[in-house]
Amino acid sequence: MTDDFRVSVGGKIVDDFDALRAGFEYQFGGMPMSLYTNAEVGDDDFVTIVGGLKFYFGGEDKSLIRRHREDDPRNKTLDLFTSGIGKSHNNGGYGDGDATDGGDLTTDGEPPS
């Protein structure tokens, strides 16, 4: 919604359990702290609401959107399917051959100068 206000909506289906969820997070301007809440409603009268404060330590002052884009750890879920792609190529011993490592090689297979 803004650089310091995030709204999320989603759902899930696990086995025979269906649920909808929604949440928000608001970072107070100039402070490394945000207020958040998440709610979930599902089958069999299932309801859960979680909320609290998040504190961000270290680093520079950033907007909430920058914190989520730059500071969150990389999602490694798909590494199971892509881990062998770069390793099957002969990379001349430069880099680890991982296609996600940011490009250790130039297009001719030589290390960058």
- Give a yes or no: residue 20 inside a domain: yes
In percent, how much of the chain has pLDDT > 70?
Answer: 71
Whether residue 88 is found in the same domain as residue 60: no
Note whether 50 and 38 are within 8 A (CB). Answer: yes
Q: What is the pTM of this model?
A: 0.57
Same domain, yes or no, for 40 and 54? yes
Question: What mean pLDDT is reported for the chain?
Answer: 77
Number of domains comprising the chain: 2
56 with 80, same domain: the answer is no
**Which structure tokens are listed for 72?**
């969150």
Asked if the structure places residue 109 within a domain, the reply is no
| pLDDT tens, residue by residue, 54-107 | 998 877 888 888 887 887 677 777 777 776 655 544 444 444 444 444 444 445
- Tell me the C-alpha distance between 58 and 8, whole Å: 26
Query: 92: which residues sit within 8 A by CB, 6+ positions away?
Result: 105, 109, 110, 111
- Within 10 A of 22 (CB to CB), how many other CB atoms are there? 14
Parent domain of 86: 76-102
Q: Is 21 part of any domain?
A: yes
CATH code, domain carrying 63:
3.30.1300.30
Q: Could you tell me if residue 35 is inside a domain?
A: yes
Question: Domain check: are 98 and 44 in the same one?
Answer: no
